[in-house]
Amino acid sequence: MIYHHLFNKFRKKDKVAAAVVGAGHYGTAIVTQQKYVNRLCVPIVADANPETAKNAFFKAGIPVENIVYAGDAAEAGKMIAAGKYVYTDNAMLIMDMPGIDVLVEATGVPEAGARYCLAAIEKGKHVAAVSKEMDSCIGPVLRRIAIEKGLVYSPVDGDQPALLMQMVEWARLIGLTVISAGKARDAEFILDEKKRTVSVEADGITVHKDVSVSIPENYIKYFEMIPNAPGAAREYITRRLEALKDMPLVGDFDLCELTMMANAVGLHPDVPETSRAPLRITELPIAYCSTKNGGIYKDEGVADIVTNLRRPDEGGMGGGVYMVVRCDNAYSNYILTTKGQIPNYDKSAALIYRPYHLCGVETSSTLLCQGLLNIDTGAQDYIPSFDFVKIAARDIRKGEKLGNDHDTGMSARMVPATKRNPDSAVPAHLITGNAAKVDIRKGQTITYSMIEEPAGSVLWDLRAQQEKMFV
């Protein structure tokens, strides 16, 4: 860890003041962790529900008499100077507070996120982008606008996109070839070999109820370790998915994050919907490599998602991130595949993984890098090569408002990015909250011609700027 050396030697100020907009689970964790992080303070929280913002400070252990409401920037500034912690339902007042260095955007609402991020950059503040919904549509253009103003727009440590970006860039820094990389789902499939069941527990966010399925007799062998045989990885994944068809599989929100990852580090999906494989940790380097080495991919540099399959007594992936890598020198690859990493059968590749992501608890490292060093904690570049788009999973009627990644009326794909035209797929979160212009049939890709464009949308305007800039 070199952060303390960097902060001690190169910091541009002594303390970073951050404001959180959106006091959900993630934003609240940033607030509650601040008292344990040297050089960081979070003196103001905004949320559409002011009580939600207020509760973030309660959970942080702030005395009730020190938690106050403010409705404008001048009032908020005076209260913070007096040692108070401010909550508000007016996020825009933060933009006019010169003492705030970093805006943490954690609303999860694409239009609101776009508006707050752009306003913060225009007012000279760094932006820490938590909302994948907004970032997957316009992150690259916001990053470019920030750079042009000498500011930092960054994904956040604690969430999988930035963590994978750092892992892949570290691998490339030391000369590894990244065969595949991606994220593990938060949900894990627990295999009970005696009962012949697979189950998953509800977490209230990605899985909403406990589910358990019995493995059909003729599928039992496919839940053993993938064997060392030609085509076995593909066969075992296919059969597992058939047996687990009633289990909650990869969510659209998973593909949303994977799109950010792929665009940041130059990876691509093997298929638009991703492999969605349930795999043991030990099977990842076997299955998620190229066919020439026994895996399922036709080429390399693949972004994918895995659901961890494990026994109750085994460690899991913790919703972390992974890479399947190799060294292109034979001796180096011998070291890589024999010194404790998990290799595939022919020892042509090995797995490196991070079995946790701590959400807002570890986001302070991003905020400190932004405020103290004027640098981000993401990838070196952010090129929108792929878009995250939606497919109608049922018939959608004209005038119907469409939801977010939890809307079961739609499914998701990753496709090459295109410029806007009536027949091109509209990025998924430009759809959120907007109405269908026409009837949309089940199975149709949702295009610009099918969606009512909202008047005065900052999100849609920034997307248009991004397409002129990159595509």
pLDDT per position as a tens digit, 415-429: 999 999 999 999 999
If pLDDT is split at 50, 70 and 90, which confidence band does 143 have? very high
Does the pLDDT at position 471 exceed 70? no
Contacts 24+ apart (CB under 8 A), 199-204: 200/247, 200/248
Percent of the chain with pLDDT over 90: 97
Whole-number average pLDDT of the chain: 97
**Three-state SS for 190?**
strand
Cα distances from 384 to residues 103, 136, 150, 415, 447, in angstroms, run 23, 9, 21, 11, 18
Q: Is 168 left (phi over 0), alpha (psi -120 to 50) or beta?
A: alpha
The tens digit of pLDDT for each residue in 260-302 reads 999 999 999 999 999 999 999 999 999 999 999 999 999 999 9
Q: What is the pLDDT of residue 426?
A: 97
Give CA–CA dist 166/111, Å, rounded.
28
- Report pLDDT digits (tens) over 322-376: 999 999 999 999 999 999 999 999 999 999 999 999 999 999 999 999 999 999 9
pLDDT at 104: 98
Residues 164-178: b if buried by 16+ CB within 10 A, e if exposed: bbbbbeebeeeebeb
Q: Are the C-beta atoms of 197 and 215 separated by less than 8 Å?
A: yes
What does the block give as tokens for 355? 């079995």
What is d(CA 57, CA 36) in angstroms, rounded to the nearest whole number? 14
The pLDDT of residue 123 is above 70: yes
**Rounded percentage of the chain residues whose pLDDT exceeds 70:** 100
User: Which domains, ranges and CATH numbers included, belong to the chain?
Assistant: 3-158+360-373 (3.40.50.720), 163-357 (no CATH), 386-470 (3.90.1210.10)
Phi-psi region of 317 (alpha: psi -120 to 50; beta: other; left: phi over 0): alpha
pTM of the predicted protein model: 0.95
Mean pLDDT lowest among 56-60, 172-176, 207-211, 335-339? 207-211
Beta bridge pairs of residue 114: none
Give residue 204's pLDDT band: very low, low, confident or very high (50, 70, 90): confident
pLDDT band at 101 (very low <50, low <70, confident <90, very high): very high
Integer Cα distance of 79 and 85 in angstroms:
7
In this predicted structure, the answer to whether residue 203 has a pLDDT above a threshold of 90 is: no
pLDDT score, position 351 = 98
Q: How many helices (H) and strands (E) does the chain have?
A: 14, 19
What pLDDT, in 10s, does the model give residues 40-73? Answer: 999 999 999 999 999 999 999 999 999 999 999 9
**Cβ proximity of 361 and 158 under 8 Å:** yes
Q: What is the DSSP string of 11-36?
A: -SSS-EEEEEE--SHHHHHHHHHGGG
